[in-house]
Amino acid sequence: MTDIFIHVYLDEDVDVLVASLLQSRGFQATTAQQAGQLGRTDAEQLEYATSQRSAILTHNRIDFEDLARIYFNTGKFHSGIIIAVRKPYLEIVQRLLIILDYTTADEMENQILYI
């Protein structure tokens, strides 16, 4: 990756206020709506995030664990998957900021993290 900071792509299940709060703190965060990706499958969402060199933030644990397994087993690259328990958006941002403050984009590659 050419950027040290993790870029975050929010799938359509994540509250868009999370992106706004991350942006206000200087992080790059894009929503599925902003990217014109509403209605895409989870696989398409992960492919899009990877094409943008962004870690995907989702609430969809089961599908994205399956996708991470497929990527691992086939040697496919992704920029990271962050799975958030459904909590108020402020709590999600607080948990996410810990990752963004202490993890580089390179360290996030091919990882799946839970917040």
- Each residue's pLDDT tens digit, 25-35: 999 999 999 99
Residue 23 CB-half CA count within 13 A: 10
- Each residue's pLDDT tens digit, 92-105: 999 999 999 999 99
> What is the per-residue pLDDT for 8?
98
Does 1 score more than 70 pLDDT?
Answer: no
Q: Measuring CA to CA, which residue among 46, 43, 64, 42 is closest to residue 55?
A: 46
What is the three-class DSSP state of 112? Answer: strand
pTM for this prediction? 0.95
Please, what are the domains in the chain? 7-114 (3.40.50)
